[in-house]
Amino acid sequence: MTQHTTQRTIGPFKVNAIGLGCMNLSHAYGVPPGPEEAKALLLRALDLGVDLFDTAALYGFGANETLVGQVLKPHRQRFTLASKCGMTGVDGKRVIDGRPATLKATCDEALQRLQTDVIDLYYLHRRDFNVPIEDSVGALADLVSAGKIRAIGLSEVSGETIRKAHAVHPVSAVQNEYSLWSREAEIGVVEACREVGATLVAFSPLARAFLCGELTDPQTQLTEKDIRLGMPRFSAENYAKNLQLLTPYKAIAAEVGCTPAQLALAWIMAAQPKAVSIPGTRSISHLEDNMGALKVQLSADVVEKLNQLINNKTVAGPRYPAATQKEIDTEQFAA
């Protein structure tokens, strides 16, 4: 049996191997839940032992940071707070801007919305290809010196970018999409994180709900403005192919004695023993199910069986449309 502990290290912080991504309480997956429903989920997460909450200036164009600040301020000492800069809403549109002055202004605004004196972990949400990464990270280093943030992270970056950034200031975390069906981090990021001592933080570890096993027809089950409807893997043609992976995947979950979602999260804990996953959800029952993965341990045989079943060669479609992919710094598999 592959042994794992449930504690992880991110820079100076100790957190559980499963945190909470707060994005879909305000952003990207159709109409967000009401404030009371969102509040109940955040507080239930605390009760279940979630001690890493991840938000960003982009999510709801500030609304998510405001929500997290309002609900969790009384409990600030109980968790590690992560947010992001470098991609925000400007005049109702998403804009990538890694200029130092912009990052510092975004941080000041975030501190107000989050109702805190310091953000524990602050990520550059996307690399701005018009700004040297050293300049963007230099601005984050200034924020550390000013006592406004405690640790620096990067998101959706390559191994080369991680090394360049780390030469300016220690990088504590790298947040990239990572799951059984999104393995790009294995090309260069995992090794770069090992070299510099950064923790891999996996967003969308449940493959945007695919690995939960309940999303069988995105075209009818997803609501208008859900970003998945524009993602190639969720097109009618590609999703029909990807669904063929679910039956054997669910069979493995049944053999292990866990839910499909728990299997996906347990795979990350086994495959990357130092990584942290931050699944997002609007459902308290899904939240409870996710946290149950902390008790699931996988044998090396099960890990290998999963690796063979779902990987970059067996999944149909790239993870982003071409226009979005141009904004992403992470290495890609050859077509």
Please return the burial class of 274, using the count of CB atoms within 10 Å of its CB with bins 0-12, 13-18 and 19+: middle
Whether 29 sits among the annotated catalytic residues: the reply is no
Q: Which sign does the torsion angle of CA 203, 282, 7, 84 carry?
A: positive
Q: What is the mean predicted confidence (pLDDT) over 244-265?
A: 98
The count of domains in the chain is: 1
Residue with tokens 């780390």: 166
Query: What pLDDT is attached to residue 30?
Result: 75
Query: What pLDDT is attached to residue 3?
Result: 46
Q: Which helix (H) or strand (E) holds 87?
A: strand 87-90
Q: How confident is the model at residue 290 (pLDDT cuts 50, 70, 90)?
A: very high
In a domain? residue 333:
no
Do 36 and 64 meet the contact criterion of CB atoms below 8 Å apart? no
Q: Which of 88-97, 147-156, 165-174 has the lowest mean pLDDT?
A: 88-97
* DSSP assignments along 102-163, one per residue: HHHHHHHHHHHHHT-S-EEEEEE-S--TTS-HHHHHHHHHHHHHTTSEEEEEEES--HHHHH
Tell whether the model's pLDDT for residue 138 goes beyond 70. Answer: yes
Query: What pLDDT is attached to residue 288?
Result: 98
In a domain? residue 334:
no
Please return the burial class of 192, using the count of CB atoms within 10 Å of its CB with bins 0-12, 13-18 and 19+: buried
Q: Which sign does the torsion angle of CA 167, 183, 274, 278 carry?
A: positive
CA angle 20, 22, 25 (to 5 degrees): 135
Domain that holds residue 265: 7-325
- Mean residue pLDDT of the chain comes to 95
In a domain? residue 332:
no
In a domain? residue 335:
no
In a domain? residue 99:
yes
Tell whether the model's pLDDT for residue 1 goes beyond 90. Answer: no
Q: Which of 93-102, 140-149, 190-199, 320-329 has the lowest mean pLDDT?
A: 320-329
Tell whether the model's pLDDT for residue 257 goes beyond 60. Answer: yes
Structure confidence by residue, pLDDT tens digits, 89-114: 998 899 999 999 999 999 999 999 99
Q: How confident is the model at residue 79 (pLDDT cuts 50, 70, 90)?
A: very high
b/e string for 43-77 if b means 16 or more Cβ within 10 A? ebbbebebbbbbbbbbbbbbbbbbbbbbbbeeeee
Q: Which of 59, 122, 123, 239 is catalytic?
A: 59
Give the Cα separation of 160 and 132 in Å (integer).
13
Query: What pLDDT is attached to residue 2?
Result: 42
CATH number at residue 106: 3.20.20.100
Query: What pLDDT is attached to residue 173?
Result: 98
182, 144, 149: which is closest to 320 by C-alpha?
182
